[in-house]
Amino acid sequence: MTRQIFCAFLIAVATAFVLIEADDKKPEKPEASWKAASASSKITPHRPMPMSGYASRKANPAEGTEQDLFAKALAIEDPEGNRIVFLTTDLIGIISKYRSDVEKAVGEKYNLKPGALVMNASHTHCGPSYGRDDTLDYYEKLVEQTVALIGQALESLEPAKVFYSEGKCAFAMNRRTPTPSGYRNHPNPQGLVDHTVPVLSVRDLDGNLKTALFGYACHNTTMGFMKWFGDYAGYAQEYLEADHEGLTAMFINGCSGDQNPYPRRMLYFAQRHGRSLATAVEAALEVSQGSFFHQKEISGTIRSDIDTVTLSFTEESKRDDYDYPIQVVRVGDALSMIAMAGEVTIDYSLRLKKELASKDAPVWVSGYTNDYNGYVPSKRVLLEGGYEASSRPWKPELEEKIIEKVHSMVKATE
């Protein structure tokens, strides 16, 4: 009996060693070839300041905060060490000085090239007028926060997987309605729209969702009250982050120069639009689905460039030519992002997707990126007239100049 017990003991010990050895030989979790990290910072003004967005406000200061404003950064690095940083902000636009000051600082501190920095504004009409002499204290703090935010993301890079997917959302409507007296700013259900919701998502190696960078082509003008407010885009980000612990949600505005949220002018409409957009992002992410079929994992390398094309105004306007910035970012082999300055009308998004996108290589087009100098209408809109056309007296060839420049930059980054 004793001998049987001893033999059983030896067998148990041997089995344990085999199991331990087998466990030691378990394959380690594969190291991801991509790295990513995001960071967020509150940029709500802490003192009364004039607001941007509507001329009727003049210099009247905001009367409080309905929703905090944020700047957020997503840094991505490919297997070869190429990096890209996306900065999203709850601001009316990216003024040129803001872009140049941040670009210079992150270039010096983090060796980030100009073409690797994408700065987009949500175009909320309830943000600060931050380029004025009497808001210099806020502006300097904003630049300091932005540089630190980008640095935080770059210094926190960790192995990750990056995906691209798309959803749909339908509250944006064309706001150009033809009437006998010309085009009026009024909801036009027959007008051109782009309801695509592009989503660039980051997951850690365990599959946990870490960042969702998403876009939509629509003005953030549901509300026009005298309070700091991120509008529908602010709510969409707020809802996504509340529903997904540890997620950083980031919004990029598209070619929404002639697109408005409808209905509007009531706070609950902004909340409903935000929930609609957040739900569209979740649909794109295939949330609650057992298997993913539409998440295109990013592979390859990052290529990016930023350049300008000279646009001209009519001779009668007596305005100087404008060096219009355009940025192209190729995120691996799965996505081309075209970032355009100013309030670009929807024709540009629809045309560039038609001319450049394919099933395997979609195109994401944004406006309000890297500079803010008013409306950029298509030739069609310019010739039709109306608010988007009359605000800037461009020569009609501006569309072809922009499109030609985009094509050449896309080709150069292949």
Q: What is the pLDDT of residue 17?
A: 42
Distance separating alpha carbons of residues 112 and 106, to the nearest angstrom: 6
Domain-terminating residue out of 245, 265, 297: 297
Distance separating alpha carbons of residues 64 and 257, to the nearest angstrom: 27
In a domain, 14, yes or no: no
Same domain? 252 vs 317: no
Domain-terminating residue out of 297, 331, 348: 297
Domain-terminating residue out of 275, 297, 319: 297
Distance separating alpha carbons of residues 109 and 101, to the nearest angstrom: 12
Q: Is 226 helix (H, G, I), strand (E, B) or coil?
A: coil
Residues contacting residue 71 through CB under 8 Å, at least 6 positions apart? 40, 41, 43, 87, 88, 89, 90, 142, 145, 146, 149
Q: What is the pLDDT of residue 15?
A: 46
- Which structure tokens are listed for 15? 């089995």
Q: Is 144 helix (H, G, I), strand (E, B) or coil?
A: helix
Please provide the size of the chain in residues.
Answer: 414
In a domain, 5, yes or no: no
Query: What residues pair up with 70 in beta bridges, in sequence order?
Result: 42
Q: What is the pLDDT of residue 30?
A: 53
Residue 204 domain boundaries: 34-297
Same domain? 245 vs 372: no
Q: What is the pLDDT of residue 341?
A: 98
Same domain? 277 vs 404: no
| Secondary structure letter of residue 225 according to DSSP | S
Same domain? 256 vs 119: yes
Q: What is the pLDDT of residue 364?
A: 98
Same domain? 250 vs 364: no
Q: What is the pLDDT of residue 3?
A: 52
Reading the chain (414 residues) residue by residue, the pLDDT tens digits are: 455 544 444 444 444 444 444 444 444 545 559 999 999 999 999 999 999 998 888 778 999 999 999 999 999 999 999 999 999 999 999 999 999 999 999 999 999 999 999 999 999 999 999 999 999 999 999 999 999 999 999 999 999 999 999 999 999 999 999 999 999 999 999 999 999 999 999 999 999 999 999 999 999 999 999 999 999 999 999 999 999 999 999 999 999 999 999 999 999 999 999 999 999 999 999 999 989 999 999 999 999 999 999 999 999 988 999 999 999 999 998 899 999 999 999 999 999 999 999 888 999 999 999 999 999 999 999 999 999 999 889 999 999 999 999 999 999 998
- From the number of C-beta atoms within 10 Å of its C-beta (0-12, 13-18, 19+), residue 202 rates as buried
Tally of domains in the chain: 2
The number of beta carbons lying within 10 Å of the beta carbon of residue 75 is 27
